[in-house]
Amino acid sequence: MTSNVQAMPLRHYLQFTDLSADEYAHLFKRAAFIKAKFKAYEKYQPLADRTLAMIFEKASTRTRVSFEAGMYQLGGSVVHLTTGDSQLGRAEPIEDSARVISRMVDLVMIRTYGQDKIENFAAHSRVPVINGLTNEFHPCQILADIFTYIEHRGSIKGKTVAWVGDGNNMANTWLQAADLLGFKVHLSTPSGYEVDPAVVGVRSAASTQFFKDPMQACEGADLVTTDVWTSMGYEAENEARKKAFADWCVDEDMMKVAKPDALFMHCLPAHRGEEVSAEVIDGPQSVVWDEAENRMHAQKALMEFLLLGQV
């Protein structure tokens, strides 16, 4: 029966650094186990009677479907809220919303604007809070991306990821992951769109190398990845960004200078002809569909961990 009194010490997943390297190793193993059960049509319902509240202040396809389907598959249920159809859109304080919502459910997932909002919600929540994307971070996506890398190529430790594009929530999270899990990021962003080191946090410089030329960033990479030129919330900058990012399109020439067995990833949604060419995203090195599917398997492992610990 649901009683949202935690058997587990309260843990939130607000940025990638909220878990340790050992805990990630556990999650990647659990994600593989949970995925295998799903593929074999075997029921696995450790979260029977648990409820997940999902709060969306920005649009979503993958995050909504993966959390909602994933929670039902684990035996639980889901409540879906948006700014427009709840009191959140009528300025009820975040603190009050957190106190109320977290008395009725076992887990909360939030997609919002500033990281400060989700931090504030978590500070007043009695149940675990998961970041489903903020302006600053997208940890669930990188969790799924690294799980996808491991499935295709084995451990990511010591490997090189080339980031081509905006210094955005995805870039920040890749940098946190590299520092924690021991791989390198070659980062190439247009001038004026660099990552903010203060957002990423204090890291050893060894895991990041900056490149003016995106082609150079891709040289010898094991994985090439990019994201939209204009993230949600920055739409007013769209025209200026189209000009600034024109040379930051991952095309076949960029993929050619990466390792011959390099993978291509994109969190999606993608704009063919902008940040990536159709030949690359629809080509043989692209694993974007596995990446999208793995959101669900990886997040099922995450929800199991936050509610039940290392089972």
CB of 170 vs ligand CP, minimal distance in Å: 9
Site pattern 121..140 for ligand CP (x: CB under 6 A)? ------------x-------
What does the block give as tokens for 294?
């793995």
Look at residues 104, 2, 6, 16 and name the one whose alpha carbon lies nearest to residue 55: 104
Task: For residue 306, count other CB atoms closer than 10 A to its CB.
Answer: 21
Instruction: By CB under 6 A, tell whether 168 contacts ligand NVA.
Output: yes
Q: Could you tell me if 235 and 59 are in contact, meaning their C-beta atoms sit under 8 angstroms apart?
A: no
Instruction: By CB under 6 A, tell whether 141 contacts ligand CP.
Output: yes
The partner in contact with residue 61, picked from ligand NVA, ligand CP, none with C-beta cut-offs of 5 to 8 angstroms by kind, is: ligand CP
Span from 1-9, 15-23, 153-161, 165-173 in contact with ligand NVA (CB under 6 A): 165-173
For 23, residues 6+ apart whose C-beta sits below 8 A from its C-beta are: 305, 310
CB of 290 vs ligand CP, minimal distance in Å: 13
Give, for 163, the enclosing helix (H) or strand (E).
Answer: strand 160-164
d(CA 219, CA 270): 23
Q: Could you tell me if 73 and 46 are in contact, meaning their C-beta atoms sit under 8 angstroms apart?
A: no
CB of 80 vs ligand CP, minimal distance in Å: 13
Give, for 185, the enclosing helix (H) or strand (E).
Answer: strand 184-188
Long-range contacts made by residues 114-122, C-beta under 8 angstroms, separation at least 24? 115/14, 115/15, 115/199, 118/14, 119/14, 120/94, 120/95, 121/94, 121/95, 121/97, 122/12, 122/14, 122/98
CB nearer to ligand NVA: pick between 133 and 250: 133
Collapsed DSSP state (helix, strand, coil) of residue 302: helix
Instruction: By CB under 6 A, tell whether 62 contacts ligand CP.
Output: yes
Give the count of residues interacting with ligand NVA (CB under 6 A). Answer: 9
CB of 137 vs ligand NVA, minimal distance in Å: 10
Give the count of residues interacting with ligand CP (CB under 6 A). Answer: 8
Instruction: By CB under 6 A, tell whether 294 contacts ligand NVA.
Output: no
CB of 117 vs ligand NVA, minimal distance in Å: 14
Q: Return the active site residues.
A: 111, 138, 141, 227, 267, 295
Q: Could you tell me if 78 and 68 are in contact, meaning their C-beta atoms sit under 8 angstroms apart?
A: yes
Instruction: By CB under 6 A, tell whether 296 contacts ligand CP.
Output: no
Q: Give residues 245-284 in contact with ligand CP (rule: CB under 6 A).
A: 267-268
What does the block give as tokens for 28?
């990647």
Instruction: By CB under 6 A, tell whether 109 contacts ligand NVA.
Output: no
Span from 61-69, 206-214, 241-249, 297-305 in contact with ligand CP (CB under 6 A): 61-69
The secondary structure of the chain in percent helix, strand, coil, rounded to multiples of 5, reads 45, 15, 40
Instruction: By CB under 6 A, tell whether 63 contacts ligand CP.
Output: yes
Instruction: By CB under 6 A, tell whether 61 contacts ligand CP.
Output: yes
Q: Give residues 208-267 in contact with ligand NVA (rule: CB under 6 A).
A: 227-228, 231-232, 267
Instruction: By CB under 6 A, tell whether 310 contacts ligand CP.
Output: no
Residue least distant from ligand CP (Cβ) = 63
Q: Could you tell me if 250 and 221 are in contact, meaning their C-beta atoms sit under 8 angstroms apart?
A: no
d(CA 7, CA 270): 41
Collapsed DSSP state (helix, strand, coil) of residue 234: coil
Which residues of this protein are in contact with ligand CP, per CB under 6 A?
A: 60-63, 133, 141, 267-268
Which residues of this protein are in contact with ligand NVA, per CB under 6 A?
A: 133, 168-170, 227-228, 231-232, 267
